[in-house]
């Protein structure tokens, strides 16, 4: 019985890796993603990319099946994870992650959307002054300009986009926000607070417009 369980767990992993290797061979996926990406039979479009500063030896991105993704995913600190379910379309948008950004199933994300799960800098101006000096020092030393950034003073909180949501173009989804099931975010919105399921929000900051059936 134990051997059957082991085989059952290994087969999906084997098939996923075989699919990834076939896509790499065709030139559809950057070979460097093998170490940081786990994916089903999704489509990665021309502008799709993953970049990790100060990377660790682990998976950073988990992508399910039947997705079409043209987004750029950035891990600035070497921490964080991005999870994308099934049947998700993400246009030419940006996912900037330090903790966790999770997408459910059957989601549309238009072009120009930003998901940002941290503040990037401290609210304390003295810490921001230190950031400027640190960036200059690292860059002049030939390093990534955020190699030695102090992330301990930066607020961060996960983002979650629930099933059947729709995010309009040029919207910004900030840290700690959950977009509820079936919710719609109007184009150009700045979402600073969680959105209840089956509601339409829009504006800067995003506000309730109406309920959806």
Percent above pLDDT 90 for the chain: 75
State how far the Cα of 209 lies from the Cα of 199, in Å rounded to an integer.
Answer: 7
Structure tokens at 183: 């919710």
Percent above pLDDT 70 for the chain: 85
Active-site annotation holds for 121: yes
Structure tokens at 71: 């987004």
State how far the Cα of 161 lies from the Cα of 173, in Å rounded to an integer.
Answer: 10
Q: What is the average pLDDT score of the chain? A: 88
State how far the Cα of 134 lies from the Cα of 132, in Å rounded to an integer.
Answer: 5
Q: To the nearest 5 percent, what fractions of the chain are helix, strand and coil?
A: 25, 30, 45
For residue range 190-202, what is the model confidence (pLDDT) as tens digits?
Answer: 999 999 999 999 9
Structure tokens at 24: 């790499």
Annotated catalytic residue: which of 13, 87, 118, 121?
Answer: 121
- This prediction's pTM: 0.84
Tally of CB atoms within 10 A around 19? 15
Parallel, antiparallel or unpaired: strands 159-161 and 190-191: unpaired
Quickly state the pLDDT bin for 27 (edges 50, 70, 90): very low
For residue range 136-163, what is the model confidence (pLDDT) as tens digits?
Answer: 999 999 998 888 999 999 999 999 999 9
In the prediction, which pLDDT does 33 show?
A: 75
């Amino acid at each position: 019985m134990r051997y059957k369980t082991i085989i059952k767990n290994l087969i999906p992993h084997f098939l996923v890796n075989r699919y990834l290797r076939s896509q790499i061979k065709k030139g559809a996926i950057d070979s460097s993603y093998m170490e940081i990406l786990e994916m089903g039979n999704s489509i990665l479009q021309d502008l799709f990319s993953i970049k990790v500063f100060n990377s660790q030896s682990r998976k950073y991105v988990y992508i399910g099946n039947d997705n079409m993704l043209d987004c750029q995913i950035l891990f600035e600190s070497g921490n964080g994870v991005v999870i994308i379910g099934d049947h998700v379309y993400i246009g030419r948008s940006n996912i900037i992650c330090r903790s966790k950004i999770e997408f459910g199933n059957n989601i549309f994300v238009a072009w120009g959307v930003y998901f940002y799960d941290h503040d990037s800098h401290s609210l304390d101006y003295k810490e921001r002054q230190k950031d400027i000096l640190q960036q200059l020092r690292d860059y002049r030393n030939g390093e990534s300009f955020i190699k030695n950034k102090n992330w301990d003073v930066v607020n961060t909180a996960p983002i979650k986009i629930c099933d059947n949501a729709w995010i309009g173009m040029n919207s910004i989804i900030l840290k700690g926000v959950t977009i509820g099931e079936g919710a719609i975010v109007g184009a150009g919105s700045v979402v600073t607070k969680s959105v209840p399921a089956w509601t339409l929000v829009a504006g800067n900051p995003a506000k309730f417009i109406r309920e959806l059936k």
